[in-house]
Structures are given as structure tokens and as C-alpha cells.
Amino acid sequence: MSPLRPLLLALALAWPLCPAPCAQGACPASADLKNSDGTRTCAKLYDKSDPYYENCCGGAELSLEPGADLPYLPSNWANTASSLVVAPRCELTVWSLQSKAGKTRKFSAGTYPRLEEHRRGILGNWSNAISALYCRCS
């Protein structure tokens, strides 16, 4: 067997694990963000992120309906979200402190597998830092 074969095999095995929009990993695409019953979702938060994109959007998920206005997140979700996805024509505004205080940021429609990569102030990032939110759709 040529020494090249194991390499080719490894590439062939790795390829399907990394489909086109690779950076979104296991996260749904914005356009696929629907509840199982077909009703509209404004955004979804996910508990788990990961250095490996294919493992992002894991763990518990919190589905937000259009107009969801949560100055206080359910206690098990405060400072917990590590990945999020915002539906088309929707926008999610988040705050770092409850009652919509502290730092704020808007996430437009799209997939954000690693909130760690989104800067919060000079030193922080948005992973495990969302304490209040407002989600609206046009």
C-alpha cells in the first residue's frame, strides 16, 4: 500500500464532517430556525459552545418567540448562553446585566456559534455574559 493511502482515507472521512458553511458547525442556519411545530422563532440561545465548531450550539436551548422581552432571564439561563442563532428579519439585543443594564449588543439575523469571539467591552466577551434580552422581528 502506498504511504499516501492512509492520508487520502483520512481526508475522505473528514470531508463530510465539514459541510459548506463550516463556521456554523452544528448550529442551525438562520433560515432553518423554526420550532418543531412550525411556529416562528425569533432566536435561540444555546448553553454550550466549543473550540470545535461542529460541537457548538449544544446543551440546553432557549427558544425566544418574536417580541420576547426578558429584562430578567430565567435563573438557569443568566450568564449561560454560549452560542446563538437569530432568525431572518429578526434582531436580538442583549445586555450583560439584568434589567437591561451594563454592556449591550445587537445581533442581527445569523448564526453565532461562539459568543466567545464577540467582544464585550475591552476585555470581556459575550460567552456566559447575557443577562437580559429583547428579540424583535419585522
Residue nearest to ligand NAG (CB): 125
| Residues of span 91-130 touching ligand NAG by CB under 6 A | 116, 124-125, 127
Q: Which is nearer to ligand NAG, 50 or 135 (CB)?
A: 50
Does 50 bind ligand NAG (CB under 6 A)? Our answer is no
What residues are paired with 91 via a beta bridge? 108, 136
Find cell 492520508 and name the residue. 7
Task: Spell out the residues 6+ positions from residue 34 whose beta carbon is closer than 8 angstroms to its own.
Answer: 40, 41
Find out whether 113 and 24 touch, Cβ atoms under 8 Å: yes
Q: Which is nearer to ligand NAG, 55 or 125 (CB)?
A: 125
30 binds ligand NAG (CB under 6 A): no
